[in-house]
């Protein structure tokens, strides 16, 4: 069932006083299972407003699962279950009575493989999330929103003369920025990014990193990355996930990125960030 909501007010031009929709996301004692297979064990992490939090750790330790739990995508997997709480500025997104669509609108997701609708125009791709969320906007508002979101995603200058071309005609890096623009159109408070640059070349990667830096004022960002230089460049804080010998994933250590990289407390963190496993 579609909810109709009005667009929140457009933030003013960036300034010290610009209103930010960025909210703190607080995961408390999250455990997750696929059938009987426990993949996360009581993971707690605060992802502060107006900050970039990086999730690092080897493959299979539950980072993507954790990310999906943060915007209620996990429950769409039939074998999946979970325990714990996710608070968005203090409100549990899993509260009974809260709709899944609410969480999905407030907390956007960008995936490793850019997934614009390939046959849909660039313009309509940006607005696709609005339609899915039942958000109504008139023509003028739509035009403004497309420009605003493409600008924030660092893509406007490249595509402003060809908004009617299909999203699939763009390069991989441009497609990923289009996906970021699409996520921003519903004015999320948090943006989750699951290895958003793993499929991209170094130049496109830098563009996305620049965009992340510019966005972090107005939207809380949580990014999974296997690239330690990237984590060091873009994140304020970092959480190191690990699943040892068939045990479920846990956070071994988290803290300010600079400390995690230069003064890790745990030997396993130091081994990982220094590429020793």
Interacting residues toward ligand ADP by CB under 6 A: 34, 39, 59-65, 77, 79
Task: Choose between 39 and 43: whose C-beta lies nearer to ligand ADP.
Answer: 39
Listed residue (83, 172, 82, 181) closest to 127, CA to CA: 181
60 binds, among Mg ion, ligand ADP, none (CB under 5 to 8 A by kind): ligand ADP
Cβ pair 180, 211 in contact under 8 A: yes
Q: Least Å distance between CB 65 and ligand ADP? A: 3
Using rule CB under 5 A, residue 71 touches Mg ion: no
Q: HEC string of the chain?
A: CCCCECCCCCCCCCCCCCCCCCCCEEEEEEEEEECCEEEEEEEEEEECCCCEEEEECCCCCCHHHHHHHHCCCHHHCCCEEEEEEEEECCEECCCCCCCHHHHHHHEEEECCCCCCCCCCEHHHHHHHHHHHCCECCCHHHHHHHHHHHHHHCCCHHHHCCCCCCEHHHCCHHHHHHHHHHHHHCCCCCEEEEECCCCCCCHHHHHHHHHHHHHHCCCCEEEEECCCHHHHHHHCCEEEEEECCCCCCEEEEEEEEHHHHHHCCCCHHHHHHHCCCC
Task: Choose between 63 and 105: whose C-beta lies nearer to ligand ADP.
Answer: 63
Listed residue (26, 110, 128) closest to 68, CA to CA: 110
Q: Which of 22, 53, 64, 174 binds Mg ion (CB under 5 A)?
A: 64
Task: Choose between 63 and 104: whose C-beta lies nearer to ligand ADP.
Answer: 63
Cβ pair 239, 30 in contact under 8 A: no
39 binds, among ligand ADP, Mg ion, none (CB under 5 to 8 A by kind): ligand ADP
Q: Least Å distance between CB 64 and Mg ion? A: 3
Q: Least Å distance between CB 36 and ligand ADP? A: 11
Q: Least Å distance between CB 41 and Mg ion? A: 17
Using rule CB under 5 A, residue 65 touches Mg ion: no
Q: Least Å distance between CB 226 and Mg ion? A: 9
User: How many residues bind Mg ion, per CB under 5 A?
Assistant: 1
Task: Choose between 192 and 219: whose C-beta lies nearer to Mg ion.
Answer: 192
Using rule CB under 5 A, residue 176 touches Mg ion: no
Task: Choose between 64 and 220: whose C-beta lies nearer to Mg ion.
Answer: 64
Q: For Mg ion, which stretch binds (CB under 5 A), given 33-41, 61-69, 139-147, 239-247?
A: 61-69
Q: Least Å distance between CB 208 and ligand ADP? A: 19
Report CA 62 to chain centroid distance, whole Å.
15
Task: Choose between 64 and 175: whose C-beta lies nearer to Mg ion.
Answer: 64
77 binds, among ligand ADP, Mg ion, none (CB under 5 to 8 A by kind): ligand ADP
Residues at the site binding Mg ion, with contacts judged by CB under 5 A: 64
């Amino acid at each position: 069932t579609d909810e109709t909501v009005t667009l929140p007010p457009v933030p003013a031009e960036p300034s010290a006083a610009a209103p930010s929709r960025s909210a703190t996301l607080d995961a408390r004692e999250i455990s997750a299972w696929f059938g009987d297979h426990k993949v996360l064990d009581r993971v707690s992490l605060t992802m502060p407003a107006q900050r970039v939090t990086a999730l690092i750790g080897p493959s299979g330790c539950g980072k993507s699962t954790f990310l999906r739990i943060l915007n209620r995508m996990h429950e769409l997997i039939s074998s999946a279950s979970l325990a714990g709480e996710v608070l968005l500025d203090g409100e549990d997104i899993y509260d009974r009575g809260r709709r899944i669509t609410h969480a999905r609108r407030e907390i956007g997701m960008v995936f490793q493989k850019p997934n614009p609708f390939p046959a849909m125009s660039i313009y309509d791709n940006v607005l696709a999330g609005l339609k899915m969320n039942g958000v109504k906007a008139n023509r003028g508002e739509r035009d403004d929103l497309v420009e605003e979101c493409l600008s924030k995603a660092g893509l406007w200058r490249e595509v402003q003369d060809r908004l009617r071309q299909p999203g699939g005609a763009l390069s991989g890096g441009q497609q990923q920025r289009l996906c970021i623009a699409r996520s921003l159109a519903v004015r999320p408070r948090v943006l989750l990014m699951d290895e958003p640059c793993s499929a991209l070349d170094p130049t496109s990667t830098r563009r996305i990193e620049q965009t992340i830096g510019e966005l972090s004022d107005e939207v809380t960002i949580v990014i999974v990355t296997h690239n330690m230089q990237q984590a060091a460049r873009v994140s304020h804080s970092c959480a190191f996930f690990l699943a040892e010998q068939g045990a479920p994933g846990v956070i071994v250590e988290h803290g300010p990125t600079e400390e995690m990289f230069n003064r890790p407390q745990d030997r396993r963190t130091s081994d990982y960030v220094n590429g020793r496993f």
